[in-house]
Amino acid sequence: MASGWTLPAPRELEVHGQNVGERWTAFKLAWNNYALAQGIGGKEEEIQVATLLTVIGEEARAVYSTFQWADRADATKIAPVLKKLEDYCRPRKNIPFERYKFNKRQQLQGESYDQYKTALRKLAQTCEFDSITPDEILRDRLVFGVTDAKVRERLLRETKSLTLERTDEVCRAAESTFEQLKIVEKSDGEPVVQTLSRRGIPPRAQDRIQKRGGSAKPVRQTRECGNCGWDHDRGACPAYGKTCAKCGKTNHFARRCRSATKNEGRELNEVEEEQEEVYVTGRRERKWRGLD
């Protein structure tokens, strides 16, 4: 007399989102037990595949329909179908990252020792610890120990092809490039020291230069300055604050004086006591010799 009890099918496989590989492992285990209990393994290949596709769920069936087969007959054979599904759900492993996850896994709050041990054992299954070598241990530590996030990202993209030698090559090249770029940037951005004779730079110009920190590109005069007679950065006229030897007014030199003649007997090109001040304005070097 039948009991009326039927063996429940495995839960449908979700093939999108995170942890697809773990969900595939759980589904495959459930499928193998279900197929054994139902005697599916002794049936024809087409029936086995049809049963699998029935219980696996709509998402996985949609994925199955996209598979390309070298031999079309493989689409109705259980072993090739399971292999295709596994390759889809468990893409190429990144062994260093799998070991990183294992090493970073801590016991969670409220997690028992046995639960923690089981979680670690599951993580260890993808780490290939059975074949680990000293070079691989060193490589893994280097990958996650380097401070440059871009270098780490590049190393992680290497996956199975990443050896200790390749790690050395990538890291050394990145370090060398970084040092070379520092030299280039320093050369490109190195300010040129300008020298002003006479009484130096006007106070307002000094304040502006200080605020810029010497890094801002100076704004150049478009023509010869009418107060000093030279081409210079805007706001950095050496005549600012000076007294004209010709008219006695300020902020221009006698050679550019536009007032009526005063103190005609004074030497227009009189050289005052020279006081040089050094400041940073940009990349071009100019020197004013201290002529009024």
Summarize pLDDT for 250-263 with one digit per residue, the tens.
888 877 887 755 44
DSSP of the chain: ------PPPPPPPP-SSTTHHHHHHHHHHHHHHHHHHHTGGGS-HHHHHHHHHHHH-HHHHHHHTT---SSGGGGG-HHHHHHHHHHHHS-S--HHHHHHHHHH--PPTT--HHHHHHHHHHHHTTTTGGG--HHHHHHHHHHHH-S-HHHHHHHHHHGGG--HHHHHHHHHHHHHHHHHHHHHHHHHHPPEEEEE-TT-S-HHHHHHHHHHTT-SPPPBPSS--TTTSS--BTT--TTTTPBPTTT--BSS-GGG--SPP-STTS-TTPPPPP--EEEEEES---EE----
3-state SS, 147-175, equals CCHHHHHHHHHHHHHCCHHHHHHHHHHHH
Tokens standing for residue 105: 């896994």
Task: Give the pLDDT confidence score for residue 211 in this predicted structure.
Answer: 58
Task: Give the pLDDT confidence score for residue 231 in this predicted structure.
Answer: 75
- Cα distance between residue 201 and residue 131, in whole Å: 72
φ/ψ of residue 152, rounded to 5 = -60, -40
Task: Give the pLDDT confidence score for residue 56 in this predicted structure.
Answer: 93
Task: Give the pLDDT confidence score for residue 244 in this predicted structure.
Answer: 83
Residue ranges in the chain whose pLDDT is less than 70: 1-5, 91-93, 159-160, 187-223, 260-292
Task: Give the pLDDT confidence score for residue 279 in this predicted structure.
Answer: 37
- In degrees, rounded to 5, the angle at the alpha carbon of residue 113 between the alpha carbons of residues 108 and 119 is 65
Instruction: Kindly report whether the global pTM for this prediction surpasses the value 0.75.
Output: no
User: Each residue of 176-230: pLDDT tens digit?
Assistant: 888 888 887 776 655 444 444 444 455 555 555 555 555 444 444 456 788 887 7
Task: Give the pLDDT confidence score for residue 267 in this predicted structure.
Answer: 44
Which burial class, exposed, middle or buried, applies to 198 when counting CB atoms under 10 A from its CB (0-12, 13-18, 19+)? buried
Give Cβ neighbours of residue 61 (< 8 Å, ≥ 6 apart): 53
Residues 74, 45 contacting (CB under 8 angstroms): no
